[in-house]
Structure 1
Amino acid sequence: MNINIDFDDLKERALDLAQSGVAKALELTDTGVAKAKELAEISKLKVLNLREQDAIRRAYMDLGRLYYAERGSAPEAAYSDLCDKITRSKAQIQVNEQRIADLKTSGNLTDEEVEQACPTDFEDADWEFVDQTLAHEASVAQEEPVQEEATAEVSEEKTDAE
């Protein structure tokens, strides 16, 4: 067993190892910092893209409003269905607003009570769920007269049979 250790050689190897470890740590730190900066820039750019997409959406809405205001009563063929849909929706809103006013009057409800019970901030609404619910309610409403007619026919048959 040879225990002759050159202390200077050992010291030099330890120093080289420490320096290479520090260099590697600095390299990893620099890489991590660079990645963090890149990720931060990507996040910032994505937020800016969302803003731009929102600006486009708003411009489209303004463009549509302007077109409807100017040409909604006599739209070009390509826009006819959309203008009709807007006109029908506006008419339905008026019907709904009148029904709301009637319900407020008959129920002695204040605007504050209605707003508290039925907030109108629907920005985060799940419109697909609302559409499905309304479609379901409409199909149930259509089935009810059919069931009533069937019940009436059965009653008439029993009366005729007696």
Structure 2
Amino acid sequence: MPGSPEMPAPVPDVLPEPLPVLAGIPGLFQAHAEDRLGAALMAHEMEPSMVEQVQAYAVRVAMEKHMGPGVAWMGVSLDGQRVGMRDTVGVMWDFAVGEAFSSSAHEHLNQAMVHAQGKAPAVPGVSKQSAGPAMQMASGGSAGGSSGAEGGAT
């Protein structure tokens, strides 16, 4: 009889959809997030689905901030409340872990891919053209060239 004390509750037939494995620079950030953040977040007694959300959000932030061309470091604060990351160029960003819970891990990865493909600006009000020289510098290219941008430290 369903609902009797000796019968366990039915198990849903639907398993959570696995997260996609991203390619290119987003994939590098995704692999690093899984490698570097997973154990640290689990040590703070975070559920596996929440760990996935934080890892996916780290990828999203990296793509929104145009970090790249690769990740040099990712880590979790001692209190487990913040995640910090640094790319191979030396650019650093951090975010509050709680920000990751605003959307699902799938949504974070989808948004990361949108930003990686250049379909949305990283900062509202900043055009892709003005972000171009910085992206060229981050990938090892020159900020000058045909764009007419002046090189130099900021």
TM-score for the superposition, normalised by structure 2: 0.25
- Which structure: larger Rg? 1
TM-score for the superposition, normalised by structure 1: 0.25
Of Structure 1 and Structure 2, which has the larger fraction of its residues in helix?
A: 1
- Which one has more relative contact order, counting CA pairs under 8 Å at least 6 apart? 2
Of Structure 1 and Structure 2, which has the larger fraction of its residues in strand?
A: 2
